[in-house]
Amino acid sequence: MTEQFEFTTDKNQEDHETVSDSGDTSVFDAKTRDEAQQIIARYPEPRSALLPMLHLVQSVQGHVSAAGIQFCAEQLALSTAEVSAVATFYTMYKRKPCGQHLVSVCTNTLCAALGGDAIYRKLSDHLGVGHDETAGTPGEEGSITLEHAECLAACDLAPVLQVNYEYYDNQTPEQALELVKALQRGEKPAPTRGPALSDFRGAERQLAGFFDDLESTVAGPSAAVETLRGAQLANERGWTAPSMPDDVELPPVPEKK
């Protein structure tokens, strides 16, 4: 007789527990179901609504659970395998409960060279967690999920980090530490750019396309002086990009074989 053994690392065990939890979609109330239908109505094909619907699920549960996958599958007439393929591909979809705040530290090349790695180490040491781990009880006030982030598209303001996808530019390890300590105290320091800081679930609701207070959401600064400096200089000096001729000959389309 052959014995079978199952070997798992701690992380694999966590993932196994996450994806095998209850698929009971009753956790999503009538309001959420109505909002799911509103999302679907934005698109000519229901399956196109999957990305924002996964954000809606996270706004309710703080992560994408098995129940969330089942809910999206039912609403969109997809298989759970199709939904899972998307939920496990994109890093913005969390497979285990996230903290009240998600702190994303850019550690790509330029940010890393200018201090991003030092910022990440400082926060990791203070919180006692590593990548994609949470300090405190997920979802409760002051809980923080820390993660490495690839390029956050703000190299002119490096090093940068985000809290719930809002920018904090030109950071130092000391500034980043004070920011995280303030979050742990229940404070919400204003981002460098963007709206007033929400929590992770609130940010996910906005990513799903629901803005409960649109006026205040768009009231914050949207661009930094550094970002606009090139356009300002070009305007002052009369620089323009050459226009494209009307009669540009396009390359031939390769013949299909």
Same domain for 77 and 130?
no
Q: Is residue 10 part of a domain?
A: no
Q: Are residues 177 and 71 part of one domain?
A: no
Same domain, 62 and 129: no
pLDDT-derived band of residue 77, with 50, 70 and 90 as boundaries? very high
Same domain, 108 and 199: yes
Pair (211, 172) in one structural domain: yes
Query: How confident is the model at residue 17, as a pLDDT?
Result: 38
Q: 143 with 213, same domain?
A: yes
Q: Kindly tell me if the per-residue pLDDT of 172 is higher than 90.
A: yes
> In the structure, what pLDDT confidence band is assigned to residue 22 with cuts at 50, 70 and 90?
low
* Per-residue pLDDT, 91: 92
Q: Which domain holds residue 26?
A: 17-87
Domain co-membership, 123 together with 57: no
In a domain, 248, yes or no: no
Q: In the 8-state DSSP scheme, what is residue 23?
A: -
Binding-site residue ranges for [2Fe-2S] cluster:
106, 111, 151, 155
- Judged against a pLDDT cut of 50, whether residue 20 lies above it is answered with no
Residue 142, classified by CB atoms within 10 Å of its CB into exposed (0-12), middle (13-18) or buried (19+), is middle
Residue 236 backbone dihedrals phi, psi, to 5 degrees:
-65, -35
Q: Are residues 81 and 111 in the same domain?
A: no
Whole-number pLDDT of residue 30: 95
Total of domains in the chain: 2
Q: How far apart, in whole angstroms, are the C-alpha atoms of residue 53 and residue 51?
A: 5
CA distance 73 to 151: 31
- 256 within a domain of the structure (yes/no): no
Does residue 252 belong to any structural domain of this protein? no
pLDDT higher than 50, residue 104: yes
Residue 8 is predicted with a pLDDT of: 33
Q: Could you report the per-residue pLDDT of 178-226, keeping only the tens digit for each?
A: 999 999 999 999 999 988 999 999 999 999 999 988 887 777 888 888 8
Q: How many CA atoms lie within 13 A of 145 on its CB side?
A: 24
pLDDT category, 16, cuts 50, 70, 90? Answer: very low
> Does some domain include residue 117?
yes
Pair (130, 82) in one structural domain: no
Indicate the DSSP class of residue 2. -
Same domain, 25 and 121: no
What tens digit of pLDDT does each residue of 108-135 get?
999 999 999 999 999 999 999 999 999 9
Position 210 in a domain: yes
Q: Indicate the annotated binding residues.
A: 106, 111, 151, 155
Complete DSSP assignment for 187-255: --PPPSSSSS---HHHHHHHHTT--TTHHHHT-S--S-HHHHHHHHHHHHHT--PPPPPTTPPPPPPPP
Mean pLDDT of all residues in the chain? 89
Report angle CA 161, 132, 17 to the nearest 5 degrees: 155
Does the structure show a pLDDT above 60 at 11?
no
Are residues 107 and 206 both part of a single domain? yes
Q: Is 73 helix (H, G, I), strand (E, B) or coil?
A: helix
Mean pLDDT on 221-238: 90
In order of 61, 96, 101, 159, 186, the CA distances from 138 in angstroms are 10, 9, 9, 27, 14
In a domain, 29, yes or no: yes
Q: What phi-psi label fits residue 123: left (phi over 0), alpha (psi between -120 and 50 degrees) or beta?
A: alpha
Residue 240 tokens, joined = 């323009």
Q: What CATH code is carried by the domain that includes residue 119? A: 3.40.30.10
Same domain, 119 and 159: yes
**Does the residue 50 lie in any domain?**
yes
CA distances from 36 to 26, 52, 116, 234 (A): 14, 9, 38, 45
Strands 101-106 and 144-149 come out as parallel
- CA-CA distances (angstroms) from residue 68 to 50, 53, 120? 11, 9, 31
